[in-house]
Structure 1
Amino acid sequence: MPYYARRARPLAYRNPYLTLYYLFCLIEWIYLAVCVLVYGDPGPQAVLTYLDYITVLEGFAAIEIAYMSVQKYLNRNAYFDFARTLKVGVRNLIVWTIMQPFPGFIIGLGRPAFLGCVLAWSVAGTLRYLYFFLEVTWSGAPPVLSLIQFVIPRSPSLSVFAHRVVCGGIRGLVDSVG
């Protein structure tokens, strides 16, 4: 019997809005990842469309964090993840203080970095919301998703490597090796 089939009643019956929210975010992040992978470097108008999608998704993520903190306050046993709060806070800071006020930079010189951010955030968002969607609908996600969700992002060596790949530091790493 699979791990996710052992628990009793799913949370989807108690919180249908959470199920719809996680499904919506999952579909949107998959859509953004597919767009970046299929179209590569699109024109300026498509980049601004990606920025609009990300702004909406990060706004919803901020509401999700507010909801989690209210639940934590009202119900002492509620789950509140400080790491997720920090990730959402940093993403909102980047979106609202750099990307939204200066869209010309994203269209011009910063387009490859922006597309790298969109791809990295899309993969992370897809994994995160797939985990939460399965957690809510089937009362448990498969163990491999738990491993990806909680162990790998907290590994310092993998985080440094991912940062170097996304920020273009891999070139310096390869040059120093070879």
Structure 2
Amino acid sequence: MQSIPLDRANRFLEPGPIVLVTTIDGGKPNIMTMGFHMMVQHDPPLVGCVIGPWDHSYSALRNSGECVIAIPTVDLARTVVDIGNCSGATVDKFQAFGLTPLPARTVSPPLIGECLANLECRVSDIRLVETHNLFILEVVAISTDPERLERRTLHHRGDGSFVIGGKTVDLRDRMVKWRHLQD
């Protein structure tokens, strides 16, 4: 075994796909790219997200308590990276990247029409924001596009390379302890 720097732990533990987060600040919608998130629990559905003061979306999320987590697919890979390389303080990202803002059902920030799914969220817990920039969000509505053909997601390796999700291994028959979580 070879030792590697500690700051590379995320390359082995990437919890899920790269997502886009929409917020609204002063009536202006913004989009940020985010890779540090995790499911916290199922019922109610809670998601932990790291969004720090270095992100333009941080103050919008702190002030409004609402956001949308949009799940992009591989066809948006370059757009996802480019969104993460600029700031909503100076760029209207919906316009710059040709994305379609759609009205959400329960929160003010918009959905992203080109994404596979959109999770409308409200901040549930901020106790770890000051120390770890970790927001706990409750998912309050979910929208998906069942007609969307591309369903493969992007998983960042922490070094600018991505793994493309898509192949499914079905082991539901072995999940005897967790059958209540299956469709």
| Max Rg structure | 1
Q: More helix per residue: 1 or 2?
A: 1
Q: More strand per residue: 1 or 2?
A: 2
Q: Which has the higher contact order (CA 8 A, sep 6+)?
A: 1
| TM-score normalised by length of structure 2 | 0.20
